[in-house]
Structure 1
Amino acid sequence: MLRVLYLVHDICEPAVRRRVMMLKAGGARVTLAGFRRSSASPADLGDVVPVDLGTTKDAGFGQRIAAVARVAMTIQGRLGGDGVPDVIVCRNLEMLALAARLRALYAWARVPVAYECLDIHRLMLREDALGAAMRALERYLARDVSLLMTSSPAFVRHYFRARNQVSSPVELLENKHFEPMETGGNALHRLERAPWRIGWFGALRCRRSLLTLADFVRAMDGRFEVVLRGKPALTAIPDFHDIVAAEPHLRFEGPYRNPEDIADIYREVHFSWVVDYFEAGLNSSWLLPNRLYEGCRFGAIPIAVAGTETALFLRHRGIGVQLPDLSTDQLVEMLGDMDTTTVEQLRGKVLEQDRKTWTFDGEDCRKLVTLLSRLNLHPPEASMKPA
């Protein structure tokens, strides 16, 4: 059984839980270690008991660097008696630093490292001395990485290859819905007439999206409503709850379990909001978010903005609604006249797609673990060529 040490920046993040579940479903034995961004307890991980490395802060980059430096001196002891792993998977740059430290401590075992990077932090893209220093640090730490796992080809085109950050082979590991066994049915529970519901689920961090949606539902005067679920990024939208409370057609319904609740929450909406202007023109324009795959899997019509990797993805498949720009006027123009016939047609195009476009199943889990198991034997062939 492959022994995977999974180093993460936030043991409470839902995506971390999903990856642990995927590795286990693929046949790996997982040791999870990482920091946390809140005092909340991690979600149920079954027999995996995370090694808590301490608390770090959102938007507190200096504090996180100090925390990593402190932990690096004691990381081997903190991991207890689990022994030397067969492979280390590290999520994000700060954990790559810890992986490099462990690799040095385990030098005799030649433990391979897989670098999982699913977002490009804005600090990495600054065109000043700080940005250059951060990129140089990443190149240095990644010099011996055996595999880069990333979720969008645009990250490779615009960053990793364009700036020569990582020379290892690349595995495209999209943010698909984890579905080890097919969930029965994929249509809405019912397709009634207006009000049409737009679901915005996951990390709620885009203030521009929230304000635009608030203006839109106010202009539609009850024909549309927006359902929000997940974790609001209060560092980015400190008045999130005040904005929602002021709009009768905005509803925040709290967190949800991923993947257990995904089918139910998306079946209750007609459209899925896959717009993100949090880092417009950079990471937000390049990513392919979880909500894209999750919503489409269960028949929600994706709404994107032209010029992004998400819009390109949807255009290639002939599905979804693409806004020329993010504005209330554009939303009114593109969605304001929606009727049942149009919604059924748009939804039908989504449901016609191959389920594997949206899901990561048991077979995919086994392939991932097999790929990781081979890192000790020989370098993997790159499974994705940047376009």
Structure 2
Amino acid sequence: MNTDFEPDWPNIELGSIENERFFRRSFGMLRGLVRVMRHSESWRDADVIIARNFDLLAIGWSARLLLRRRKIPLVYECLDIHRLLTDSGPVGRIIRWCERQLLRQVQLLIVSSPRFVSAYFKDIQRYDGSFAIIENKLWFDADALARPKVKSDRPANVPLTLGWVGSIRCAPSLRLLLAAADQMGPAVRLKIHGNVHRHALPGFDAEVAVRDNVSYHGAYQYPNDLASIYGESDLVWAQDLWQRGGNSDWLLPNRIYEASWFGCPQIAVADTETGRRIASDGLGLTIDAPTPAALVAALEKLEPKDITRMQRHILNLEDERFRLRESDIARALSPVIGSPPHRRIVEEE
């Protein structure tokens, strides 16, 4: 993804690594460390080191040690709990041990969902250090895109449009959505937008091609294409299912912020952090189980006025719930850049 992205900051390329090739990743990390060491001057005036995943945390800690820059605060940003980190086998235990040792060296942990802290870092890794939450909200480099006005009620005699938007990699979600589309037939249109991970969904194109009420619209420009994508959807599937019992149950996906900015209701599974957020903030619907029967039942109950009511509620919510600002990042980094101590979250049981 983002292969044509050109950074607008002084950038040191650390190289590329392949998904799932864990043995090769270790060599990629060593290569990255060597490249960091060759550019040691870039660390001279650093105020903070932010490692944006486990691999980069290992590189950042090693470079800080080798370059004798131990006084520079080290921040670990974890936006997903990889499946290996919750694996019960020997490889999972080794990686968790490695992460636990590195966690003792960081001055701040940044996560995108409070459940990552309570369910994983506290319960499993026994982390009791400082942390901050930067939710995966919309970011606008320039002026924010305008939020739409509430549309009039959708006519009762047109198909319901269900969207699936973002990084398309979840095989259980694909099976669920296709099964629901098959059961509802012409009463629903499933529109898929985003970058398809075909190594995870090898039969994606064939599955879509044989269904008249399912269409794939390709990758999109972020954020400029979001208004039309969400504007054409009556509601969107927001749930990640491919790591149930772990990351999928704990995360808060960027879909809920994007969809909400543009007034589009969402649907997710009730016993996940995504579902709890949608229910608590009135962002859409939840189903008790990720089954075709539950999803079809929820969709068939929807009336045009129900969709309009949810849209109106979402668009009346404050922009700050869905948009990330520089001040949010500065506040999160305050424990390591000298501002007042960062608050801790209180999780409701």
TM-score by length of 2: 0.90
Q: In structure 1, the residue corresponding to 2:194 is in which secondary structure? A: strand
| Partners of 1:112 and 1:375 within 8 A in 2 | yes
1:279 — aligned with what?
243
CA drift of 1:145 comes to 0.9
Q: Within 5 Å, give how 1:297-376 maps onto structure 2.
A: 297-360=261-324, 364-369=325-330, 371-372=332-333, 375-376=336-337
| Partners of 2:193 and 2:219 within 8 A in 1 | yes
2:90 — aligned with what?
129
Q: Does 1:212 align with 2:158?
A: no
Q: Within 5 Å, give how 1:235-254 maps onto structure 2.
A: 235-254=199-218
**Of the candidates 222, 242, 245, which is equivalent to residue 258 of structure 1?**
222
Quick one: structure 1 residues 237 and 190, their matched pair in 2 at CA, closer, same or farther if it must change by over 3 Å? farther
| Partners of 2:186 and 2:213 within 8 A in 1 | yes
CA drift of 1:190 comes to 6.7
CA drift of 1:254 comes to 1.2
| Partners of 2:261 and 2:322 within 8 A in 1 | yes
Q: Within 5 Å, give how 1:66-85 maps onto structure 2.
A: 66-78=27-39, 83-85=44-46
- Code of the residue aligned with 2:209 in structure 1: it is A
CA drift of 1:376 comes to 4.7
Q: In structure 2, the residue corresponding to 1:68 is in which secondary structure? A: helix
Q: In structure 2, the residue corresponding to 1:103 is in which secondary structure? A: helix
CA drift of 1:133 comes to 1.1
2:139 — aligned with what?
178
Q: In structure 2, the residue corresponding to 1:228 is in which secondary structure? A: strand
Aligned residues: 345
In percent, how many aligned pairs have the same letter? 29
Quick one: structure 1 residues 349 and 288, their matched pair in 2 at CA, closer, same or farther if it must change by over 3 Å? same
Counterpart Cα distance in 1 of 2:98 and 2:198: 29
Q: In structure 2, the residue corresponding to 1:56 is in which secondary structure? A: coil
1:268 — aligned with what?
232
- Between Structure 1 and Structure 2, the one with more strand by share is 1
Counterpart Cα distance in 1 of 2:317 and 2:91: 44
Q: Deviations over 1:66-107 (max 9, x none)?
A: 210232234221577574422111111011001102211343
The runs of 5 or more residues in structure 2 that have no matched partner are: none
TM-score by length of 1: 0.82
CA drift of 1:248 comes to 1.6
Q: In structure 2, the residue corresponding to 1:279 is in which secondary structure? A: coil
Q: Does 1:113 align with 2:113?
A: no
Quick one: structure 1 residues 65 and 385, their matched pair in 2 at CA, closer, same or farther if it must change by over 3 Å? farther
- Code of the residue aligned with 2:173 in structure 1: it is S
Counterpart Cα distance in 2 of 1:92 and 1:320: 31
Counterpart Cα distance in 2 of 1:153 and 1:108: 31
1:155 — aligned with what?
116
Q: In structure 1, the residue corresponding to 2:117 is in which secondary structure? A: helix
| Partners of 1:299 and 1:351 within 8 A in 2 | yes
CA drift of 1:191 comes to 5.3
Quick one: structure 1 residues 119 and 161, their matched pair in 2 at CA, closer, same or farther if it must change by over 3 Å? same
CA drift of 1:303 comes to 0.5
Quick one: structure 1 residues 80 and 268, their matched pair in 2 at CA, closer, same or farther if it must change by over 3 Å? farther
1:18 — aligned with what?
none
Q: Does 1:138 align with 2:99?
A: yes
Counterpart Cα distance in 1 of 2:234 and 2:284: 11
Q: In structure 2, the residue corresponding to 1:198 is in which secondary structure? A: strand
Counterpart Cα distance in 2 of 1:321 and 1:373: 36
Counterpart Cα distance in 2 of 1:149 and 1:324: 30
Counterpart Cα distance in 2 of 1:68 and 1:351: 44
